Amino acid sequence: MTAMAEAPVAAPVAADVTFRIHRYQPEFDSEPHWEEYTVPLYPTDRVLTALEKIKGEIDGSLTFRRSCGHGICGSDAMRINGRNRLACKTLVKDLDISKPITVEPIKGLPLEKDLVVDMDPFFDAYRSVMPFLITDGHEPTRERLQSAEDRARFDDGTKCILCACCTTSCPVYWTDDQYFGPAAIVAANRFIFDSRDSGAEQRLEILNEKEGVWRCRTTFNCTDACPRGIEVTKAIQEVKRALIFRRF
């Protein structure tokens, strides 16, 4: 066990932090605009805490999605200082508070209100890659056997929380709304490389289309944006390789 002596701890100090937030109220605003709000925050506070404070104490009409508050549900993906992140996983101490912190909706999906976008196109792409186990033959009475190595092969993709940080950071996705986008390809990868699955050929055919995996330009934005640390670009490359060599 490590030493347990308490280092003297200075009481944390709240500082005023200014946020520059994208506002758009479809019933009242002709176009989006920016508004600034200043709230006192501790270094360990999350950006989500700030948004809750602004909504609760300054302007109740500020609209954003959130649920779990600790990076598991994927509701609060937004563009914070130009980078896609989860508001509940972005701490004030990791931002430069000498300037206003900009908060915008994720890009590439239709804007609904303030920080809320229409998620349906994102989920439609996910659904279209057959993101479920496909098996043939008789169902065993007990569990299917799978070695720890085979299980580890597709572990990375199972971490995905469908927050859309990766897909909406992709420059190809911004300009081509037919492209499946990184998250859908990660979901396909997760099943293609699952030793229990026999639907790889079908999924690869879907991703072999013009708007499929070949649209990826390997910019690595998706990998940088993933709040779950998934190697998204690598997952896409694996699917490309599987298409070329038909080995998976």
Which residues bind to other proteins, rule: CB under 8 A? 1-2, 4, 6, 9, 25-28, 44, 52, 55-57, 59-61, 63-75, 89, 91, 112-114, 116, 119, 123, 127, 130-133, 135, 139, 142-148, 151, 154-155, 158-162, 191, 194, 196-197
Least spacing, CB of residue 183 vs other proteins, in Å: 11
Least spacing, CB of residue 172 vs other proteins, in Å: 24
Least spacing, CB of residue 161 vs other proteins, in Å: 7
CB closer to other proteins out of 108 and 227? 227
Please give the Cα distance from 116 to 176 (Å, whole number): 20
The position carrying tokens 């600790």 is 70
* Helix (H/G/I), strand (E/B), else coil: 4: coil
Least spacing, CB of residue 175 vs other proteins, in Å: 25
CB closer to other proteins out of 32 and 69? 69
Please give the Cα distance from 225 to 160 (Å, whole number): 12
CB closer to other proteins out of 74 and 181? 74
Please give the Cα distance from 47 to 71 (Å, whole number): 12
The beta-strand segments (E) located in the chain are: 15-23, 33-41, 77-80, 83-86, 101-104, 111-113, 116-117
- Quick one: the chain helix, strand, coil %, rounded to 5? 35, 15, 50
CB closer to other proteins out of 107 and 196? 196
CB closer to other proteins out of 159 and 217? 159
The position carrying tokens 């950006």 is 47
Residue 19 bridge partners (DSSP)? 37, 101
Least spacing, CB of residue 235 vs other proteins, in Å: 15
- Do 16 and 37 contact (CB within 8 A), yes or no? no
Q: At what angle do helices 182-192 and 200-207 cross, to 10 degrees?
A: 160
Rg, Å, the chain Cα set? 21
CB closer to other proteins out of 28 and 245? 28
Beta-carbon count within 10 A of 163 CB:
28
Least spacing, CB of residue 173 vs other proteins, in Å: 19
Least spacing, CB of residue 244 vs other proteins, in Å: 26
CB closer to other proteins out of 96 and 143? 143
